[in-house]
Homo-oligomer: A and B are copies of this chain.
């Protein structure tokens, strides 16, 4: 196991009606003037936004609003938010929505107190200072409610890149599983896929002797395998929603990723797809993961065999472990299809002729220098080959 530090000081309030305490938590964590940041009309129509505002008003807190966050959130709205926060003297950013709203809120929170261009943070500069952030989560997926990360798409070039820094950990996050019950099955499945990807990206490690984090990752994957189909079959299943929601946080606050090298190839390969085709991140990951894993499997057959046996319940083929490794990847592929995810480029709306561009952008776009991958180092040709497996 490698040396590490772990710091997850987010206060989680989990359960029914928890959003009614939003104002109380903003006050507790020092906010006096709040930016409420959200996406489209669903948080308005559902009455959630109204309840959050009422809770701020009950605490005598001032607020301004900025809606309009889109999936794969963009830089333009971030610049707008930064200007608004500065103009209005905002000292707390409250995201109401999913990972897109939260990631956009994080970018605004960091950019407001930074003299330079906020995009610097998405080109590798660590975020050491930001306005405090709170979240009211409406989809279990990105894990941004407990993570120090944010992903934004820069509109000039459509680069989708991540920033990181302890200052981006939310001060509090409100997780009410009931708020996710209105999500359509497709979006729910996208969230499940994203959570599973966060787990697999950590599972694919070159660090030896990581039994404890291996086991916890496997536990969370098994939770998704058990609860995923239940919630797709019955979107109103509060209990399954609750288990998925807490698993989604644990999957990405890094308690199960510490002390080990991680991969993040699938995310990098996927980001090119959702940046260009604007597909859902989770849907992209469903197509990407089996392709990436098939391509890199021979690097460590026993690791994939371990996942196959421990997570998917495959029988170990002791004469030929590679068969077991493949069976585990196939089990993942079938599972993702079974919950309604796309299985190839066509179903995703991606085009084979774009592969050279996709591979080039993944390896050289923006600040990249020719390769990606923490498990296996992949060059442009490798990445093109991976995209070809998705056609």
**Residues on A facing B (Cβ under 8 Å):** 1-16, 18, 177, 208-213, 215-216, 218-220, 222-223, 226-227, 239-240, 242-244, 246-247, 250, 255, 258-259
Given A3-B15, A5-B12, A212-B219, 19 additional A-B pairs, CB 8 A: A1-B15, A2-B15, A5-B14, A9-B9, A208-B239, A209-B242, A209-B243, A211-B226, A211-B243, A212-B220, A212-B223, A212-B244, A212-B246, A212-B250, A215-B223, A216-B219, A218-B219, A219-B219, A246-B259
Whether the pair A220, B216 counts as a contact (CB closer than 8 A) is yes
Whether the pair A222, B227 counts as a contact (CB closer than 8 A) is no
Whether the pair B223, A259 counts as a contact (CB closer than 8 A) is no
Whether the pair B15, A4 counts as a contact (CB closer than 8 A) is yes
Whether the pair A255, B259 counts as a contact (CB closer than 8 A) is no
Pick 22 A–B contacts, CB within 8 A, sort by A: A1-B239, A2-B15, A3-B15, A3-B18, A4-B15, A6-B11, A6-B12, A9-B9, A9-B11, A14-B259, A209-B242, A211-B243, A212-B219, A212-B220, A212-B227, A212-B243, A212-B246, A213-B246, A215-B219, A219-B219, A242-B259, A255-B255
* A207, B162: Cα distance in complex, Å: 39
Whether the pair A250, B216 counts as a contact (CB closer than 8 A) is yes
* A117, B219: Cα distance in complex, Å: 44
A2, A5, A212, A215 — most chain B CB neighbours (10 Å): A212
Chain B residue at minimum C-beta to C-beta distance from A2: B15
Contacts of A177 in B (CB 8 A): 1
Whether the pair A258, B5 counts as a contact (CB closer than 8 A) is no
Contacts of A239 in B (CB 8 A): 1, 208-209
Chain B residue at minimum C-beta to C-beta distance from A208: B239
Chain B residue at minimum C-beta to C-beta distance from A209: B239
Chain B residue at minimum C-beta to C-beta distance from A173: B6
* CB of A288 to closest CB in B, whole Å: 25
With A211-B226, A216-B250, A222-B215 known as contacts, the answer to whether A243 contacts B1 (CB < 8 A) is yes
Whether the pair A6, B1 counts as a contact (CB closer than 8 A) is no
Contacts of A247 in B (CB 8 A): 212
Whether the pair B5, A243 counts as a contact (CB closer than 8 A) is no
Chain B residue at minimum C-beta to C-beta distance from A237: B209
- Among B4, B210, B243, the residue within 8 A (CB) of A243 is B210
Contacts of A216 in B (CB 8 A): 216, 219-220, 250
With A216-B216, A242-B259, A246-B212 known as contacts, the answer to whether A11 contacts B1 (CB < 8 A) is no
Chain B residue at minimum C-beta to C-beta distance from A177: B1
* CB of A207 to closest CB in B, whole Å: 10
Contacts of A212 in B (CB 8 A): 219-220, 223, 227, 243-244, 246-247, 250
Chain B residue at minimum C-beta to C-beta distance from A6: B12
Whether the pair A1, B242 counts as a contact (CB closer than 8 A) is yes
Contacts of A10 in B (CB 8 A): 7
